[in-house]
Amino acid sequence: MSDLSKAREELRMALNNYRKVILLGDKKAQCIIRKELERKFLKFENELEKRRCYHP
């Protein structure tokens, strides 16, 4: 699995976790998961940017 695929899968899982926490209504957990989601999104963006640089 490529780094981009791994990053995309991690982002998908973090988003699913965030959706579940929103349904539960736990504000503290939402904050924690939101920060994780932001980190995963940045990782995905970085991997995507690497791919653009190496494979124009």
Q: What is the pTM of this model?
A: 0.73
Under a CB-based contact definition with an 8 Å cutoff, are residues 44 and 6 in contact?
A: no
* Residue 56, pLDDT score: 59
Q: At a CB cut-off of 8 Å and minimum separation 6, what does 30 contact?
A: 18, 21, 22
Domain ranges of the chain: 3-54
| Segment 9-48, tens digit of pLDDT | 998 998 998 898 888 888 898 899 889 999 999 999 999 8
- Whether the per-residue pLDDT at 55 is higher than 80: the answer is no
- Whether the per-residue pLDDT at 49 is higher than 80: the answer is yes
| Segment 29-38, tens digit of pLDDT | 889 988 999 9
* Residue 17, pLDDT score: 87
